[in-house]
């Protein structure tokens, strides 16, 4: 019997959507890659709850977290999520936080605040390690953006090929955010984190369905 096609493709030679004949897997290629935004949940330990850390801040109906430098008060946010199956497995994902200046007055233009994001990954069948990978993002106070509650977005890049914690679609990802000392001219008040998200380049319209079992 004659085969009509190997794969069905929509688009040009570089950019498009391919539907595999064998299993119907739909794959984006080239500039057809899309962005998937996921908001990981907070992991709260009982110790943190008891110590009221990190410190909650309210602005209207918004709830945020005020951050001193970590070495001063050991405040941090921990997150957990599963790396999406739809991720392309190559492009470095991003972690983004929405932060503002705290109340109590304006900051000096040119002053800075800095956050560190650390992460670990765990895949089925592998020993859970204790080695932490990290990256940082620093923000400078800008002209016209120095008043209380002026917003800033700070971006952190995960290294997809990190030696200690490589990212693998479907594996567990845990991360934490801490404020660390800025390179110079520290802001006078504690910045507040209001929101966070991860962003992934997705290659597949959906991941292939499979029944998951214990690693053997």
Q: Do residues 119 and 28 share a domain?
A: no
Here the CATH number for the domain that contains residue 173 is: 2.60.120.260
Q: Do residues 4 and 97 share a domain?
A: no
What's the confidence (pLDDT) of residue 54? Answer: 85
Q: Do residues 24 and 104 share a domain?
A: no
How far is 31 from 16, CA to CA, in rounded Å?
Answer: 8
pLDDT per residue as tens, the chain (216 positions): 555 557 777 777 777 777 777 677 777 777 777 889 999 998 876 666 667 778 899 999 999 999 999 988 889 999 999 999 889 999 999 999 999 999 888 999 999 999 999 999 988 777 788 899 999 999 999 999 999 999 999 999 999 999 999 999 989 999 999 999 999 999 999 999 999 999 999 887 776 677 777 655
Q: Do residues 16 and 81 share a domain?
A: no
Q: Do residues 13 and 40 share a domain?
A: no
Q: Do residues 161 and 129 share a domain?
A: yes
What's the confidence (pLDDT) of residue 203? Answer: 83
Q: Do residues 57 and 86 share a domain?
A: yes
Q: Do residues 55 and 25 share a domain?
A: no
What's the confidence (pLDDT) of residue 95? Answer: 96
Whether 208 is covered by a domain: the verdict is no
Q: Do residues 43 and 132 share a domain?
A: yes
Whether 82 is covered by a domain: the verdict is yes
Domain count, the chain: 2
Structure tokens at 24: 């119907």
Whether 216 is covered by a domain: the verdict is no
> Domain of 12?
1-32
Whether 43 is covered by a domain: the verdict is yes
Long-range contacts of 30-35, Cβ-Cβ distance < 8 Å, separation of 24 or more: 33/88, 33/91, 33/201, 33/202, 33/203, 34/201, 34/202, 35/199, 35/200, 35/201, 35/202
What's the confidence (pLDDT) of residue 48? Answer: 67
What's the confidence (pLDDT) of residue 80? Answer: 94
Whether 212 is covered by a domain: the verdict is no
What's the confidence (pLDDT) of residue 50? Answer: 63
Instruction: Output DSSP code: residue 186.
Output: B
Q: Do residues 46 and 141 share a domain?
A: yes
Long-range contacts of 121-129, Cβ-Cβ distance < 8 Å, separation of 24 or more: 121/83, 121/165, 121/166, 121/167, 121/168, 121/171, 121/172, 121/173, 121/174, 122/171, 122/172, 122/174, 123/168, 123/170, 123/171, 123/172, 124/170, 124/171, 124/215, 125/215, 125/216, 129/164, 129/165
């Amino acid at each position: 019997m004659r085969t009509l096609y190997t794969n069905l493709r929509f688009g040009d030679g570089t950019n498009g959507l391919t539907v595999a004949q064998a299993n119907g897997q739909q794959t984006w290629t080239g500039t057809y890659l899309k962005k998937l935004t996921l908001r990981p949940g907070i992991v709260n330990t009982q110790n943190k709850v008891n110590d009221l850390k990190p410190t909650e801040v309210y602005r209207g109906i918004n709830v945020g977290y005020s951050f001193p430098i970590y070495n001063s008060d050991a405040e941090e946010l921990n997150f957990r999520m599963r790396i999406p199956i739809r991720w392309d497995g190559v492009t470095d994902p991003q972690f983004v936080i929405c932060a503002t200046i705290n109340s109590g007055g304006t900051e000096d233009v040119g002053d800075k605040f800095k956050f560190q994001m650390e992460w670990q990954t765990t895949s089925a069948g592998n020993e859970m390690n204790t080695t932490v990978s990290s990256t940082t993002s620093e923000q400078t106070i800008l002209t016209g953006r120095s008043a209380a509650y002026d917003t800033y977005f700070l971006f952190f890049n995960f290294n997809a090929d990190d030696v200690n914690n490589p990212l693998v679609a479907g594996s567990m990802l845990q991360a934490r955010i801490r404020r660390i000392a800025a390179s110079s001219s520290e802001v006078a008040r504690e910045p507040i984190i209001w929101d966070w998200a991860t962003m992934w380049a997705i290659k597949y319209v959906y991941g292939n369905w499979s029944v998951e079992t214990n690693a053997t």
